[in-house]
Amino acid sequence: MSTARNVAIILVLAAAVAFVPGGGTTAGLIGAVLSTLIMVSLVFFAYRFYREHRVELDGLGDRWRGLLYGAIGVVVLALAARPRLSDSSGGTLLVVALLGGAAYAFYAVWRHYREYA
């Protein structure tokens, strides 16, 4: 019964977007609000993670902490530039290379932490 109700709600919302004047604009606004809420929750999660693990991060040393923060910066930069870079195959390869390099940096920092913690 609840599945049928949920499907009916989705169909009503889809019909409103398709047939109500300005429905597409409203749907775009709702999508922007939801994506903003997701970003705010990710930033809050990162802030809480930093506060809870501040001593471990300071214990990494300057080199490894710099590598970690640099990898975070590369991920943010790559994701921010992804819409423009994905227009060409070279840009797509660049985004993949940046994210792969950042993933390897995260792994290297994690491995260092596990070996010397």
* pLDDT, tens digit, 9 for 90 and up, residues 71-81: 999 999 998 99
Query: Using 50, 70 and 90 to split pLDDT, how confident is the model at 2?
Result: confident
Q: What is the pLDDT of residue 117?
A: 63
The DSSP secondary-structure symbol of 24 reads: H
Distance of CA 109 to the CA centre of its chain: 20
Mean pLDDT of 98-102: 95
Quote the CA–CA distance of 114 and 117 in Å, as a whole number. Answer: 6
Quick: pLDDT tens for 31-88: 899 999 999 999 999 999 999 989 988 888 899 999 999 999 999 999 899 888 888 8
**Residue 16, both tokens:** 């409103």
61, amino acid identity: G
Quote the CA–CA distance of 76 and 47 in Å, as a whole number. Answer: 15
Q: What is the pLDDT of residue 86?
A: 84
Query: Using 50, 70 and 90 to split pLDDT, how confident is the model at 100?
Result: very high
Q: What is the pLDDT of residue 15?
A: 84
Predicted TM-score (pTM) above 0.85: no
Angle between helices 62-85 and 89-116 (to 10 degrees): 160
66, amino acid identity: G
Quick: pLDDT tens for 7-25: 999 898 888 778 878 777 8
**Per-residue exposure over 62-80, b if at least 16 CB sit within 10 Å of its own CB, e if not:** eebeebbeebeebbeebee
Residue with tokens 């902490």: 65
